[in-house]
Amino acid sequence: MSVSYRQPGVVLTDRRFTVPLDHADPTGETIELYAREAVASDKADQDLPWLVYLQGGPGGKADRFVGRPAWFGRALKEYRVLLLDQRGTGASTPASRQTLPLRGGPAEQADYLAHFRADAIVRDCEAIRPQVTGGAPWTVLGQSFGGFCTVAYLSLAPEGLSAALITGGLPSLDAHADDVYRAAYPRIERKVVAHYARYPQDVERARRIADHLLTRDVVLPNGYRLTVEAFQSLGIMLGGGEGSHRLHFLLEDAFVRTANGHELSDAFQEQAQGLLSYAGRPLYALVHEAIYGQDARPTDWSAERVRAEFPRFDAAKALAGDEPLLFTGESIHPWMFDCDPALRPLRETAELLAARTDWTPLYDPARLAANEVPAAAAVYHDDMYVDTAHALTTARAIRGLRTWVTDEFEHDGVRAGGPRVLDRLLALARDEA
């Protein structure tokens, strides 16, 4: 039974759907999907076209908006919007350390999670679309990993789309995870260098924190073991528009003087554990590298292996000399499953996924080359999370796709840019710009 309720300027309706776990076995096991329908209050009785929003991730639930902020308010001017919790996230049969043991042991859990990639998300959308739109095609807006899903949508079921809009999410069509991270680490280093140029005082602050962690065993209040590698991973913040400033404010008050000498402050530890924990999005850690798997090659902890090719990220070597500590970015490592109490019970499951050799292609280059769906993509110049060269190569491979390449925004431009990013993409898709 659907339940409707109101926020300022918006009417919201909770929607629930049942879909196959494996779309290749439509009569087999099912899972539940949750989505929130949204329509502007003054348009609630109108027959409007639909826009489905695919959140970034993997493993991120749809935004829980209050009111009509950013792109959401712009979309509500002409669409009914469906905010979909992708399978395994939010209220859509969540996958976590608490729920996955219901599947059985690590092998059964890994087999289950192999069904949580972009192709399955696209099939979910096509399964529920007739119930939502009455069979009419809809517009998809894909942010980050949601953009990966949108490219898969154009490959697998373009007949379901009236338009495809992508922000910071054009994937390589054929790169292995190793190729992705070999391109990523130099890009991450550029972001760190830019941060230190803006906040030169942070060079010494970061080195001091790293030295402290190299010589002590620090466990945060939630049980997270804060190692120097975990501290470096806070560099993921540098991919957002305000990330450099937020990292600076985190570092500036890291220490307090105590009866036992200087220690990391409770305030720093509280913020750090909130930033580092995957309790709210464990799928991000579990299937992150699997989103790049498209053939018989295992991902095999790609980010960890490739990092060894970039010794400047070695904290101990940096501290032994006078080099600044380099933070890392959007990457998942095996040590996370030792440090994070939300991931520890899933370590063996993650190992099995990393070793998996039966990944299938997610994209269809021939179908993309013949694309007829109006499509537009915002490509953020030097995006820390998605390689610009990979994105532009893919853009050229999708017939009719129009790109807007900009350095005005970081990876979160669709949120930080208010209505402007969606305005621009709609104009491009409609040949109005």
According to DSSP, residue 165 is labeled E
- The torsion angle over the Cα atoms of residues 392, 396, 399 and 403, rounded to 10 degrees, is 40
The token pair at 429 is 């898709």
The token pair at 143 is 């942010």
In sequence order, the β-bridge partners of residue 264 are 255
Q: Which of 96, 144, 244, 302 is catalytic?
A: 144
Alpha-carbon dihedral sign for residues 294, 189, 383, 85:
positive
DSSP string, 74-128: HHTTT-EEEEEE-TTSTTSS--STTTGGGG-SHHHHHHHHTT-SHHHHHHHHHHH
Residue of 262, 271, 284, 267 whose CA lies nearest to 331: 284
Residue of 387, 377, 419 whose CA lies nearest to 239: 387
Q: Is 411 a catalytic residue?
A: yes
Instruction: Render the burial of 59-76: b for 16+ CB within 10 Å, e for the rest.
Output: bbbbbebeebebbbbbbb
Cα of 62 vs its chain's centroid, Å:
11
Do residues 134 and 49 lie in contact, with contact meaning Cβ atoms separated by under 8 Å?
Answer: no
Region of residue 190 (phi > 0: left; psi between -120 and 50: alpha; otherwise: beta)? alpha
Q: Which of 195, 340, 411, 412 is catalytic?
A: 411
Neighbours of 7 (CB within 10 A): 13
Q: What one-letter code names the amino acid at 242? A: E
How far is residue 157's CA from residue 13's CA, in Å, rounded to a whole number?
Answer: 26
How far is residue 363's CA from residue 173's CA, in Å, rounded to a whole number?
Answer: 6
Q: Is 302 a catalytic residue?
A: no
**Where in the sequence numbering do the catalytic residues fall?**
144, 358, 411
